[in-house]
Structure 1
Amino acid sequence: MGADGGEPLQNGAGADDESMPPNEARALTAGEKPPELMEKTANGETEVDVEGVDSGAPEFCGLTKEELMRYANDPFWVRLRWVLLAVFWLIWLAMLVVAVVIVVLGPKCAPVQKLDWWQKDTIYQIYPRSFSDDSGDGVGDVAGIRTKLDYLKDLGVRSLWLSPIYKSPMRDFGYDISDFRAVDPLFGTMEDFDGLLADAKERDMHLIMDFVPNHSSDQHDWFQRSVRREDNYTDFYIWADGVGGGPPNGWQSVFGGSAWTYNAARGQYYYHQFLPQQPDLNFRNPNVVKEMDDVIRFWLDKGVDGFRLDALKHLFETEDLTATEPRLPNTTDSDWGAFNHTGVTTDLPETFDVLSGWRSICQEFEDKDGEHRRVTRGW
């Protein structure tokens, strides 16, 4: 009951609330939340924060437009902006100047070199015996190669490399040469070769010969004269007396067995790094060097564009026939591959002197006809 005996006070309000008008919200005490932020629960009233309402959030404290403009127009900030702009452009200009200096004074790239024919041509090796048979005898020949030039050019071939076509008893598929200035009848005639060369030139193609300077056939006239000890041919090949009823030393042939074969007619052994039918020429004899120089000139005069030089590392052997070749590690057999031949029977420095001479001969022909390059390539 109220103090005056009227109706009971609503909502537990005290006597102090008598003056509050009906249905009017009373003033909230400090820290009290309004009724709309309250939620009933089974245990009574529980305060619930409504999303997005933060009574403690600070008010906006940034600069107003007027304040920003005041600072923007302040002489200090105006000067600072101009200084920074000037510094930026000075740095940019300095970088531009440095870049120009580097371009102008820096090392220049070498000019693009024009490639010569031997550097850019597709080189196609032809083994004449099996390439193309024009005569119908079942063996490829030079005339057969002539009939295929257009076909080869259509394939993109610009240079031909011929395996040996020289006169030969064919004990080693033409690498045993009995005449370095003749075409073996098996492949045709020298006229056939001249025709092949002319046809290749008409098609702007090049022709490289296989050249085998290390040895000849034992049927070559040079060897037969050397067997007979004729003047200028006595030392055309490597001859030596036997030791203890056998070869002069234990050097082995690439193809197996001893590298020495006894010649009864001469009464001495001759040296051969390949077949016994392929005696090694003696390049320490200046007559041999001259003969081979003349062979190169013979084919260059015909118009060939160079040579593939075969078996170059075998060109010289040591003069000391008592020298032995050291055995390679972990080998027990007596085959050629079981020994280190360098400096004894292969890769002697004198080889480079002979090669330099052949390069000079090629240079002579280049100088005569306007620097058309002749190549000498070793494999």
Structure 2
Amino acid sequence: MRRSFSGQLLTATCVVAATLTTPLCEAFAESASAQEETAITDENRETVRMKTVFGQRVADMEAGCVVAEYFLLEKEFEQTKTNYDQRIALLTATIRGKSTAERRRRFKTIVDMGNAKTAIDKYHTRMKKACHPRYLSDALDADLKACDLDSAEAKLGKLRGIRRQLKLIGDQMRTVSKGGVGVANTAAIDVEAVSIWTVNAPPFFEGAEKAVRDYRAKQKSTPNGGDVCTDGEVIELDDVSGPPPEPAADPLGEDLCERVDGELLDPDYERDCNLLAPILGTWVNLELGGSIEFRLQADRTLSAFVGAANQRMEYYGYSNGMEILRGYRLAGVDGGTWLVWVNSGAEFSAKMPSREAGEQFGQAAWNQTRATIFIPKNDPNSIKLPGQLQWRLSDGKKWVRQR
């Protein structure tokens, strides 16, 4: 059932999607390849089986959307859940008169299948967030609001690829309907799903194109080239170029990934520290000075602190030891263009000393954000921070790992 689509069609659509791998596939969850193995028992057999059946395929979709595979997976999700519903109904209907041991066994099996259905729903949600035009369009808008043009353009690239694939599939289906020779098993294509996307998706494609185009135009029209996130405001600062200052002595709390003679003080965090190693530690700004420190927290989320504030940080209200990012969770490792990325955290907007409540930056607040933090493969000694925070800390200038 997994490969009922033709090899030719999948090959053609894969070629289109092959260039779309980005660090912003809205993975929103750790890829199956990075998860620890789970022992199979009579109580979790079906739940674990769903990871085997769908885990890697959904992770592949997050890395690069293949429309034909998307439709196939949706059909398999629905068929598998229906199968579970039928099995649960049968076990429930025939439980009367069974022994206590058998009733307990059936109850555990029913719970397992219910958990398997929940796992399918989670895989389906991950796939939609990564590849459905509506979700991609919403995420693109969120990136632009966070002033993260790079992330928005990556999502726009995925939307363009999906649009090309839809056209390819539509052309093949029309060829067959007119009596032409199509790829093998063309009849297996989900005609209804293709039709729905063909009708409903274009507004998302067009809206995303317009949103990025408008953002670029506004960015160009901002006085002196200031970022669109400044609302046209351009801050003139004294020249503070030079080597970064020494990190502040203020304690930032326990470093769970600190090693003594190569060993962690708490081995329970070994896996988290290894996976997040490209992000953890001290980052400096060579142009403006200053440093920030990324630490793993006890709940296995990632936080960032100001190590040594540069002049721009102080101008916007950031000081030594201040926590500026928190709650970020591992979203994926070793992707197409990124070493590691985290998301779903909160960003601290400090109160600007010269501003009052009601004015821009006039009040300190934590803001939940859909922005991502990642390390690019082609520049592993730099880090990509959320757009507005990077602007306030360093005017968009690069943060690099401290040597």
Structure 1 and Structure 2 fold alike (TM over 0.5)? no
TM-score using structure 1 length:
0.24
Structure with more helix by fraction: 2
TM-score, structure 2 as length reference? 0.23
Give the greater-gyration-radius structure (CA). 1
